[in-house]
Amino acid sequence: MSPELVERVHRGVLAESHAGAIAPERIEALARAEAPLLDESSLRTVVAAVSARTVGLGPLEPLLADASISEVMCNGGGQVWIERAGRLERLPLSLPAEEVHLLIERVLTPLGLRVDRTAPLVDARLADGSRVNAVIPPLAIDGPCLTIRRFGARAVTLEEVAPPDVVSFLRWAVAARFNVLVSGGTGAGKTTLLNALAACLPPEERIVTIEDAAELRLPGIHVVRLEARPANAEGAGEVRVRDLVRNALRMRPDRIVVGEVRGAEALDMVQAMNTGHEGSLSTCHANSPADALRRVETMVLSGAVGLPLSAIREHVAASIDLVVHVARRPSGERRVVEVAEVVPLGDEPGVRPLSVRRLADERSMVATPQRPARLEVLS
């Protein structure tokens, strides 16, 4: 099969249907017109290759069907990279700018979103839950960029990301209704760990999940899933995570799970944790548990105009009980690397790392799960 022939037939398809939907019979006719002497086997191969380009996400479909691939990245220069088992790999595949732009349009059009020079970046979600980010010129200097973070086909358990003592302690902490904040860098596995922690929630409790892009998969029987919505092409209709957190308080939740706090919604989340919704879970980007608290303080400040910093720090210290930090190791493995208790340190909240060797002893401090005021100081 000639790549040049596939390219010519594909251009003919695009000329006839900008939406990319065209019958296989018509693709076959176009291929026959381009190569009248093509044998049947080669003809079927060309038709299949062109169909793959015009249905779904075209040449990226095989990558999205591969369960071992966690991220697909199309760079502006046409390069295609993937992340597999935590490591980046460059593929022998190059996509022209026109094709990448077409793939972006296929994702956005059904969602009522757009990307153009006036709105050159956008976040979206595929039907399977995978997250999509697109950036086009003039922001993307070398051409349109498309990044797809795969929605994991298999739920990861706590045992896969933490040693046994830590697993036992975290299960107890969730049952004891600790407010837990998961921290880590980009791609460290925060959402994966949040999913694993949420799987420990009692199945009969009413859980409300709030996400910017829906990724959580909770096994409980009483789970309500809410997802933020960006503004439409006219700039109207936006529903922020903060709006959903406020609305969730009126939905009689036993616990609230916020996929990630990035801005002013941190104020509403902290207030929820401190007003009867104990046992809530969330994540944030940070390099360490101490940095996570500083980030939460900063985000709360952005939504609490006029509230003094001292009051915010007291509020944060009273609301968050544990910070669980996850990191990606050089091998690509994601692991829990630190569990820290949030404690008042003078006029501001601080963190006190918990010894992994003594986490099992901490778990046995109470015979039945209940939320203690604070953990004992660990030596």
Residue 372, domain member (yes or no): no
Between 304 and 246, the more confident residue is 246
Q: Cα separation of 64 and 356, whole Å?
A: 38
For the chain, what is the domain count?
Answer: 3
Query: pLDDT (tens digit, 9 = 90+) per residue, 304-320?
Result: 777 788 888 888 888 89
Same domain, 281 and 203: yes
Question: Nearest 5°: phi and psi at 355?
Answer: -70, 125
Report the CATH number at residue 78: 3.30.450.370
Counting beta carbons within 10 angstroms of the beta carbon of residue 48, is it exposed (0 to 12), middle (13 to 18) or buried (19 or more)? middle
Same domain, 116 and 214: no
Residue 369, domain member (yes or no): no
Residue 343, domain member (yes or no): yes
Same domain, 212 and 143: no
Query: pLDDT (tens digit, 9 = 90+) per residue, 208-236?
Result: 999 887 778 887 789 999 988 877 667 77
Query: pLDDT (tens digit, 9 = 90+) per residue, 111-148?
Result: 777 888 888 988 887 877 788 899 999 999 999 999 99
Q: Helix crossing, 24-34 with 40-54: angle to 10°?
A: 120
Query: pLDDT (tens digit, 9 = 90+) per residue, 263-301?
Result: 888 888 888 888 777 899 999 999 999 999 999 999 988
Bridge partners (DSSP) listed for residue 189:
none
Same domain, 206 and 330: yes
Most confident of 106-110, 150-154, 340-344: 340-344
Mean pLDDT of 65-90: 88
Q: What percent of the chain has pLDDT over 90?
A: 26
The tokens of 259 are what? 């996929």
pTM: 0.74
Between 354 and 361, the more confident residue is 354
Residue 371, domain member (yes or no): no
Q: 226: domain range?
A: 158-363
Contact 201, 173 (CB under 8 A): no
Same domain, 40 and 93: no
Closest CA to 183 of 298, 295, 273, 267: 295
Contact 348, 298 (CB under 8 A): no
Same domain, 179 and 42: no
Residue 82, domain member (yes or no): yes
What are the residues whose beta carbons fall under 8 Å from the beta carbon of 189, sequence distance 6 or more? 156, 161, 326, 328, 334
Residue 340, domain member (yes or no): yes
Counting beta carbons within 10 angstroms of the beta carbon of residue 35, is it exposed (0 to 12), middle (13 to 18) or buried (19 or more)? middle
Last residue of a domain, one of 97, 119, 151: 151
Three-class secondary structure of residue 262 per DSSP:
coil
Tokens 């022939």 sit on residue: 5
